[in-house]
């Protein structure tokens, strides 16, 4: 019965967080309600994190609390001392951090499901679990692919807006062909991961190669764009970060 109440509490927290996220997005549609919308979204994320702490698979919450405190402190410091004129840079670096979190979670989950879990189960029961399903691997691959290119893409946007990189477009011969080619290679690696069993010997190498190429694609697709267009780029990268986070929820089997 206690487990049932625990599950109900977790689902209720996720439902409340989802409602707060929706209300937060609605608030962002009007300038006079944008601040309240951001506050509702922040509360929703806090509710989601607290709800996750009740999950039975969490052995110790110390690392979650540590991240919560550090992240809150860093976010508060940036928001308080950063001038309003630097909000685009603030948004870009926030997208990079969010994408980094989603990508690291995806890599950690992949490592656990393909290395840690099989070794543990074999030691305890003498059996080895089957490969990841196509749906789970697709969600993981999608998460890491879009998350990795969002990390470096957002960092490039931050650098251009902050003046750390040239604001003018950086171009060279065969640039479009190279960018398209690398993206096609990344997508092909993604499909390989989905259709090939995760127990294959080359599966892990292809997975990490896809993430590495994704980091390169993120750099190459942003540097040819001028600094004046960075707000548009940031909006696009925001959607990529959202896709990566949504895929993370699917891969982890959560709703929030």
Q: Kindly report, residue by residue over 118-160, the tens digit of the pLDDT.
A: 888 878 787 777 788 888 888 888 889 989 999 999 999 999 9
pLDDT at position 207: 94
Question: In angstroms, what CA-CA distances link 147 with 68, 99, 135, 154, 225?
Answer: 21, 5, 18, 10, 20
| 249, 192: one domain | yes
C-beta of residue 141 within 8 angstroms of C-beta of residue 190: yes
Q: Is the pLDDT of residue 166 over 70?
A: yes
Q: Kindly report, residue by residue over 75-128, the tens digit of the pLDDT.
A: 888 778 878 788 888 888 888 888 898 899 889 989 988 888 888 887 878 777
Q: How far apart are CA 253 and CA 62, in angstroms?
A: 22
Q: What is the pTM of this model?
A: 0.80
Query: Average per-residue pLDDT in the chain?
Result: 85
> Lowest-pLDDT range, 36-45, 145-154, 181-190, 241-250?
241-250
| 224, 138: one domain | yes
Higher per-residue confidence, 126 vs 189: 189
- For residue 254, name the pLDDT band (cuts at 50, 70, 90): low
Q: Exposure pattern of 210-247 as b/e (b: 16+ CB <10 Å)?
A: bbebbbbbbebbbbebebeebeebbeebbebbbbbbeb
For residue 71, is it within any domain? no
Give me the number of domains the chain comprises: 2
User: Rounded to the nearest 5°, which phi and psi values hold at 53?
Assistant: -65, -20
| 177, 251: one domain | yes
| 208, 105: one domain | yes
pLDDT at position 253: 67
| 17, 134: one domain | no
Domain that holds residue 33: 1-58
What are the structure tokens assigned to 151, written together?
A: 């990390």
Q: Kindly report, residue by residue over 40-69, the tens digit of the pLDDT.
A: 988 988 888 888 778 767 767 788 788 888
């Amino acid at each position: 019965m206690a487990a049932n109440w625990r599950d109900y509490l977790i689902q209720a927290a996720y439902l409340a967080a989802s409602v707060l996220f929706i209300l937060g997005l609605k608030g962002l549609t009007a300038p006079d309600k944008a601040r309240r919308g951001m506050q509702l979204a922040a509360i929703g994320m806090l509710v989601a994190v607290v709800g996750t702490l009740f999950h039975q698979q969490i052995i110790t919450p110390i690392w979650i609390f540590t991240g919560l405190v550090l992240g809150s402190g860093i976010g508060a410091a940036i928001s308080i001392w950063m001038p309003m004129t630097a909000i685009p840079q603030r948004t870009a670096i926030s997208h990079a951090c969010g994408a980094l979190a989603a990508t690291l979670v995806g890599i950690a989950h992949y490592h656990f499901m393909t290395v840690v879990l099989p070794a543990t189960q074999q030691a305890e029961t003498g059996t080895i679990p089957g490969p990841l399903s196509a749906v789970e691997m697709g969600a993981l691959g999608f998460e890491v692919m879009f998350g990795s290119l969002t990390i470096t893409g957002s960092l490039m946007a931050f650098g251009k807006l902050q003046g750390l990189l040239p604001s003018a477009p950086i171009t060279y011969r065969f640039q479009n062909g190279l960018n398209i080619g690398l993206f096609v290679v990344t997508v092909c690696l993604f499909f390989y991961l989905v259709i090939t069993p995760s127990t294959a010997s080359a599966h892990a190498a292809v997975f990490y190669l896809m993430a590495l190429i994704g980091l390169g694609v993120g750099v190459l697709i942003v540097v040819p764009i001028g600094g004046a267009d960075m707000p548009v780029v940031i909006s696009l990268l925001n959607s990529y970060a959202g896709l990566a986070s949504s895929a993370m929820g699917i891969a982890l089997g959560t709703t929030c």
